[in-house]
Amino acid sequence: RNDHYLGLLPLSALLTNEESLTVAELMLSDDAAIPATMDEKDVALLFEQRDLISAPVIDEQNVLLGRITIDDVVDVIREGVDHSIMSMAGLDEEQDMFAPASRSARRRAVWLGINLCTALLASWVIGFYEETLEKVVALAILMPIVASMGGIAGSQTLTLVIRGIALRQIGRTNASLLLGKELTIGILNGLLWAVVVAGVTGTWFQSAEIGVLIGSAMLINMVCAALAGVTIPLALERLGIDPALAGGVLLTTITDVVGFVAFLGLATLYLV
């Protein structure tokens, strides 16, 4: 009526109800239409929650403008997935695939430089324990294990949280619950693999002390990795920074630094 949206009339309702019923009796007047100003990510989430195939679109005056179909939403979802995958490597799909080599090289060089700075930070931390490494060479062999386990554990949590943010599943109301859950997972997995690695390392180097140290450092690092995996993307989201773009670099830095400090710091206290 006057191009104003009144309700939705599903085809199934026309086919399964009596012919004597009017459109007003069959249509779903309480089924809200999609405002033209709604963000495309919110539209995709709405389609997922309601299992929609198509939906009407209205303006601020409730005037019917058209409709959105599931095909449009699939395109939005695909673009979002592509963006997340490319952003995690500091890339842009269109610019890096079709732009001149010099422009793509400059863009990638920025993130390579940032990664270099974080690697130098980790190396600087290791430099504090040079004397410890000289006295106990086995520590240098085992350092990558501590950093790697923390990095993998943190990446699992980071990926989960970034996905939850993208799907609007994580907010202020459930962020603390998620943090508690991930910390619990970090503790449980940390204890499990700390015992395994401590046993293998103690047998390998014939030193129970080194086994206990690497197990303790791994537990500390995996718990910190779980904490960082939740808090980093949430903090970046509040700052208006894409978590998929910067989260991985920050997480790697934290797990490397915490792992090295925990392992070499404990070794300095108890072995040197």
pLDDT at 237: 87
pTM of the predicted model as reported, rounded to 2 decimal places = 0.74
pLDDT at 61: 81
Q: Which structural domains are found in the chain, ordered by start?
A: 11-79 (3.10.580.10), 115-270 (1.10.357.20)
pLDDT at 108: 72
List the pLDDT tens digit at each of the 272 positions of the chain. 567 777 777 776 777 777 777 777 777 766 668 888 888 778 888 887 777 778 888 888 878 888 888 888 887 777 766 666 666 555 555 555 666 777 777 767 877 888 889 889 999 999 999 889 988 889 999 999 999 999 999 999 998 998 888 777 888 788 899 999 999 999 999 999 999 999 999 999 999 999 999 999 999 999 999 999 999 999 988 888 878 777 888 999 999 999 999 999 999 998 87
pLDDT at 96: 56
- Per-residue pLDDT tens for 50-69? 777 788 888 888 788 888 88
- Per-residue pLDDT tens for 205-242? 999 999 999 999 999 999 999 999 999 999 988 888 87
- Secondary structure string (H, E, C) spanning the chain: CCCECCCECCHHHHHHCCCCCCHHHHCECCCCCEECCCCHHHHHHHHHHHCCCEEEEECCCCEEEEEEEHHHHHHHHHHHHHHHHHHCCCCCHHHHHHCCHHHHHHHHHHHHHHHHHHHHHHHHHHHCCHHHHHHCCHHHHHHHHHHHHHHHHHHHHHHHHHHHHHCCCCCCCCHHHHHHHHHHHHHHHHHHHHHHHHHHHHHHHCCHHHHHHHHHHHHHHHHHHHHHHHHHHHHHHHCCCCHHHHHHHHHHHHHHHHHHHHHHHHHHHHCC
